[in-house]
A = this chain, B = another copy of it.
Amino acid sequence: MIRVIFFDLDDTLADTSRLAEMARRNAIENMIRHGLPVDFDTAYSELMELIKEYGSNFPHHFDYLLRRLDLEYDPKIVAAGVIAYHNTKFAYLREVPGARKVLIKLRELGYRLGIITDGNPIKQWEKILRLEMDDFFEHVIISDFEGVKKPHPKIFRKALKAFKVKPEEAMMVGDRLYSDIYGAKNVGMKTVWFRYGKHYDKELEYREYADYEITKLTQLLEVLERENDSNKEVHIT
């Protein structure tokens, strides 16, 4: 019997891929408007390469972009990037379609809800609070706060402990086969792979760890019906 449902945050509840892309594009446009002496495509592809190497939470993207383009440090240009990035980010921060509707329904059905996410704790909370989603969740577990990342079992075990439930009473919903699905399955949770965003066809070598696959969050309600009816594993695709 499933009692607790855990969600990943980025590209599961918060529509993050699109937000980040729009914010980065607008940042480059504004940097060029304020004097960055390269064309859009050069700057954008350099930025994407940099993000790939340093990660999306690296706090010096725009400074390093200037270095990589062999340009002198110019705080005006960096500020232009930061401003446009933030303005756009907030403008495009939206829930994944249907997220709030599903959360309301799940609470109505008596499920207890949690979030298990990687990333900078303050930035992750910022998204949750700006989306006004915090009241749905009993516990938000952010792996960076523990010094580990998904799929490390520590983070999933900590989540189970916070809710005082056994692994088989918990279900993990996430868009990443490796960190969310493989990770949660390893500690014994039920797993639902949400095929959404840029990872919808990635990390397929971990697909066997998914008990269910859905392409819309609302399908989670059907998953739970089947799970509670039969306790049998069925793939919905």
Contact = CB atoms under 8 A, between A and B. Distances in A.
B76 A134 contact: yes
A124 to B, nearest CB: 7
A75 B134 contact: no
A233 interface: no
A235 B80 CA distance: 39
Interface residues on A, range: 20 to 34
User: Oligomeric state, in number of copies?
Assistant: 2
Contact of A140 (B76, B126, B130): B76
A79 B142 contact: no
A83 B130 contact: yes
Nearest to A142: B75
A129 interface: yes
Interface string A20-55: 000000000000001000000000000000000000
Contact of A129 (B83, B86, B134, B140): B83
Given A75-B121, A78-B122, A83-B130, 11 more contacts: A34-B134, A75-B125, A76-B134, A79-B121, A79-B122, A79-B123, A79-B124, A79-B126, A82-B122, A83-B129, A86-B86
